[in-house]
Amino acid sequence: MDILPVLAHSGKGRRAMGSWQGKSNLFKRTASVPVKDLTLRKYEGMQASARLDEMLRMLKEVFGDTDDIAIRQFRIFGSFNAAAVFLEPMVDQDRINRDILQPLMTALKDGQAEQLHASRIADYALHDCLHAADASAEISIVPMLLAVTSGETLICIDGSHKALIVNTRDIKKRAIEQPQTEQVIRGPREGFIESLDTNIALVRSRLSTTDLKVKMAPIGRRGNTNVAVCYLSSIADPAIVERVLGRLAKIDTDAILDAGYIEQFIEDQPFSPFPQIQNTERPDKTAAALLEGRIAILSNGSPFALIVPCFFSQFYQTLDDYTERFLIGSLIRIIRLVALVTSLIFPALYVSLISFNPELIPTDFAVAVAGGRAGVPFPTVIEVLMIEISMEILREATIRLPQVIGGALSIVGVLIIGQAAVSAGFSSPITVVIVAFTTIGSFATPAYNAAIALRMLRFPLIILAGSFGLFGVLIGLLFIANHLLAMESFGVPYMAPFVPGNWQGFKDLLLRGPIWWMRKRPSHLHTLDANRLPPDAADAPMRRTLQYAGEEDTRAHE
């Protein structure tokens, strides 16, 4: 199925669709491509009528039941009947008056209007009269209707098969502000918003190069949501780009209301708990991914960019790792990794040690645990599961409540539930502490979707620990490791650079090496340009150190 069933319904979309041609045979403009919009299929292949009354009758038939459609009839140059058609809530009417109606309704000098034939009016108005930067002529019905529904103005002219489409879209949008889900201590404070054009501009402002390519096309039978694919043509692997375009081309749904819809359609293993596509609200993070050779997918109406291919290591890395010096960044990353491991296996280890292997616990600690559990009527595994489920319910309630109330609920809820559970004899104090540490560790995982995956897997590990002890925990971890090692993201190993193994990649894995050490891009991305820095860049800081030392010695002798 073709993602480009018709010409794009905006000026930018029309230009973008032409640029897809040649990338994949799925994106070529052909007359035989079926229209995906079910309401427009009856107009597929139809050309506009040269009679204005027939065009208006057709438009009223399509938009007749909606009250926000406006049809403004006027005379071009005082001689040719015409009509401007637009949806009032989506357009800037001042621009329509200034850039369309005023120049077209201005009478020409004596005799000039009579010399123009009606069939030439559209071209003359397009090239010599309109004051709009984004305008085009069209003869097919379907693109005209899509243009109106996307907020553009359609100008029909009596006696001409051509109609003019002028971009007058003016949809209100929120201001650019700091992303709420990816806050940083040191770094830019700009985040994506729900406007596709604004998001592309934010990326381009950080990568001012002609290598940055943006391919746009509408997706959806009824929504016709514009989706943009961004990549650096001199770096990104063409095979991965082609794979992304091919998967987008196969999406056939009513509408794309958020980038999360696209993620679920194009991911490799939809039944895996682990996210296979990275999402971000940060333009700087998106630009960094493009410089690595990856591909960004932006969707109109969504403040999130999807980045592919995706690796597991990216879910515990943050922008702060790179804006700080490498020693500090490495320390923070190690702490984050410890928190990630803790959030996954800490409760399972506790259950297995208490229930099956208490001999591995120091005697004093074992006595304290046994004293705390005196009077608890449940086995350790049931006790831990009850507290874990209570924490998950509290966490979900905190997210759904308004921010002012949610913050208070999270603190009060933890105190009340923990104290009440211990006082009532449902749980021991040590169990509450273990679950609290686990919850805090999950909060330290930067990627929310990765943290959810670890929270999901925590429960089967606890059950295995309660059934088979440490052996059950080991079996569960082996299953998880085997699953991760078998996964791919757009043809690239999910556990790269562990698999297939690459020394350059290890410089930015568990620890964050100095920037001047990371001369190569990730080899598993098969980039066209593998070098980030010149070959001798790693020696530059050492040369500067020796140079400064020599200058100090010279000054000392003087």
Question: What 3 state SS string does 476-541 have?
Answer: HHHHHHHHHHHCEECCEECCCCCCCCCHHHHCECCCECCHHHCCECCHHHCCCCCECCCCCHHHHH
Q: Hey, which of 61-70, 216-225, 298-307, 529-538 has the most confident mean pLDDT?
A: 298-307
Euclidean distance between CA atoms 192 and 301, whole angstroms = 10
- Amino acid 183: pLDDT: 87
- Token output for 515: 């920037």
Mean pLDDT, to the nearest integer, of 335-358?
A: 92
pLDDT band, residue 135 (cuts 50/70/90): very high
338: Cβ–Cβ under 8 A, 6 or more apart, which residues?
441
Confirm if 414 and 392 have CB atoms less than 8 A apart.
no
Q: Which pLDDT tens digit goes with each residue over 495-541?
A: 988 877 777 778 888 888 888 888 889 888 999 998 888 776 656 66
Q: Which pLDDT tens digit goes with each residue over 8-20?
A: 333 444 434 433 4
- Amino acid 504: pLDDT: 72
Nearest to 349, CA basis, from 437, 444, 462:
462
Per DSSP, 180 falls in state S
508: Cβ–Cβ under 8 A, 6 or more apart, which residues?
317, 518
- Token output for 128: 């010599």
Confirm if 348 and 468 have CB atoms less than 8 A apart.
no
- Amino acid 31: pLDDT: 35
Confirm if 218 and 224 have CB atoms less than 8 A apart.
yes
- Amino acid 36: pLDDT: 64
Euclidean distance between CA atoms 69 and 243, whole angstroms = 40
Per-residue pLDDT for 225 more than 80?
yes
Per-residue pLDDT for 138 more than 90?
yes
Nearest to 430, CA basis, from 356, 477, 478, 361:
361
Euclidean distance between CA atoms 494 and 88, whole angstroms = 48
Confirm if 190 and 280 have CB atoms less than 8 A apart.
no
Q: Strands 492-493 and 488-489, how do they pair?
A: antiparallel
Mean pLDDT, to the nearest integer, of 211-218?
A: 93
The DSSP element (H or E) to which 404 belongs, if any, is helix 403-423
Q: Which pLDDT tens digit goes with each residue over 313-343?
A: 999 898 888 888 899 999 999 999 999 999 9
Per-residue pLDDT for 7 more than 70?
no
64: Cβ–Cβ under 8 A, 6 or more apart, which residues?
none
Euclidean distance between CA atoms 504 and 481, whole angstroms = 23
Q: Strands 225-232 and 295-299, how do they pair?
A: antiparallel
- Amino acid 16: pLDDT: 42
- Amino acid 407: pLDDT: 62
- Amino acid 18: pLDDT: 39
Mean pLDDT, to the nearest integer, of 394-402?
A: 81
pLDDT band, residue 357 (cuts 50/70/90): confident
Per-residue pLDDT for 371 more than 90?
no
Nearest to 308, CA basis, from 378, 239, 375:
239
Euclidean distance between CA atoms 339 and 476, whole angstroms = 19
Task: Write down the mean pLDDT value for the chain.
Answer: 85
What angle separates helix 429-443 from helix 448-468, to the nearest 10 degrees? 150
Report in angstroms the alpha-carbon separations of 477 from 341, 471, 484: 11, 10, 10
Mean pLDDT, to the nearest integer, of 88-92?
A: 93
pTM score, whole prediction: 0.86
Task: Give me the half-sphere count of Cα atoms (radius 13 Å) on the Cβ side of residue 19.
Answer: 14
Nearest to 168, CA basis, from 90, 75, 233:
90
Question: Which of 111-115, 186-190, 531-535 shows the lowest per-residue confidence on average (mean pLDDT)?
Answer: 111-115
